[in-house]
Amino acid sequence: MTKHQLETLSFDNSYARLPEALSAKLNPTPFSEPPHLVSFNPAAAELIDLDPEQAKRQEFAAVFGGSMLAPGMEPLAMLYSGHQFGVYVPQLGDGRAILLGEVRNERGEKWDLHLKGAGLTPFSREGDGRAVLRSTIREYLCSEAMFGLGIPTTRGLCIVGSDHQVYREQIETGAMLVRMAPSHVRFGSFEILYYRKQHDQLKVLADYVIAQHYPHLVDASDKYTRFFSEVVERTGRLIAQWQAVGWAHGVMNTDNMSILGITLDYGPFGFIDDYDPGFICNHSDHNGRYAFNQQPYIGLWNLSCLAQALLPLAQKEELKAALDRYTPLCEERYMELMRAKFGLIETKEEDASLIQDLLALMQLHHVDYTNLFRALSLFQTGIESLNESLRDFFSDRDSFDQWARRYKNRLREEGSRDEDRLTRMNHVNPKYVLRNYLAQTAIEKAQKKDFSEIDRLLTLLHNPYSDQPGMEAYAAPPPNWGKHLSVSCSS
């Protein structure tokens, strides 16, 4: 495989050739202070055949810090609207992000390079168009953590920082994040054209997305219905994965929902520590609309908004039939994932109550979600075994013992072998996730110009299912200060 230099990356921007109603063409605004590389992700660079040695060049920070363009870039801010906390907002758009262009790798795969924190755009509203170091680190690390977990997501190529001052609740330093995805088109990209009654442009956008990302549908007579049906399926499977791994998005507005069914826009996200189905990771979400246990329903609600936006292109009854598939599909996928987390191979009707009853015990006894499931792989089915290490997670051991007898019987029924099950379960129950306190530790070091913890976490989170020597501390539950970190949309 040829490793490209910055100058030889083959940039294009097919989105720039769509109607002007969909974007505004403009260049990034450079920092007022010189840019410097904070972190570089070789795994993401490999997706565009970029030589990692290029990150050492001064030009690299200049290009991805907004002060230089590489050949072929056609920067633009994407326009969209969306339902925010259930209320339709007629115009949103990239208020601090710019699509630099797209790169095809030697395998023919297309990757958008999107520069977040790139300065004011026509869609900035009241904002300053900037991102702060704190938020770029969180998104960069979490997108790579999700990739490591096997969950569809945008990717993070690099963070470029500066001493440029940005005003939030306090003065912080600015940074830019280069995020990558096959597309950054959202549900809201369709909504704005529907509500503006720009149905011709709506058709152009739908045809573009289908041709680029659902090419097997191009010649179908019912391609718009089938396109929506596939978005329903991808979204349902995605949210089932979020639920199984114990992750909350925090701001599931329709403008933060990917048309490809990938995790998009990491703001006030959070992995659950002590299991709490009502977990709210965004302290601005006062009514709990986007609480952890609401995510499957919100996925349905958001898809219904997309279905409405597609009404000029497809029959209402057909769109509704596609939408009706969402809930059973999401629930079925969730149960598949949870059976795997419990080490179950066969499907039995009583599995739902077995799973829910353990989750209820975990909630009652404030049990760490990630660590309990990792430890559950060590469960022994021998008659004499009391599974002491697992009992210690629960303050009421008798309640766990009652559940454990049911679980032991269930495993024996399908002839489960402890050693085989341990291997299977460790492939689906991560040892490491990006807990808020781990991200906060990396942020605080980075604010003192020590970026080593970012790179350490990046390496760790790419292999979350493997025991990594010397990294046991990163699997620990949060210290007391780490349980009460406040995360909001402010970035």
Cα–Cα distance measured from residue 263 to residue 257, given in angstroms and rounded to the nearest whole number: 7
Report the half-sphere exposure of 378 (CA within 13 A, side-chain side): 10
Helices (H), 92-132: none
According to DSSP, the residues that pair with 4 across neighbouring strands are: 50
CA torsion sign, 374 to 378 to 381 to 384? negative
What's CA 35's distance to the chain center, in Å? 27
Cα–Cα distance measured from residue 141 to residue 28, given in angstroms and rounded to the nearest whole number: 23
Tokens 């009706």, residue located: 324
Q: Residues 432-441, buried b or exposed e (16+ Cβ, 10 A)?
A: bbbbbbbbbe
368 catalytic? Reply is: no
Cα dihedral value 260, 266, 267, 272, nearest 10 = 110
What DSSP letter does each residue of 166-179 carry, written as one string?
EESSSEEEEEEEEE
Report the half-sphere exposure of 245 (CA within 13 A, side-chain side): 31
Q: Which of 112, 255, 273, 368 is catalytic?
A: 255
For 414, the token pair is 């399908």
Catalytic residues, by residue number, are 255
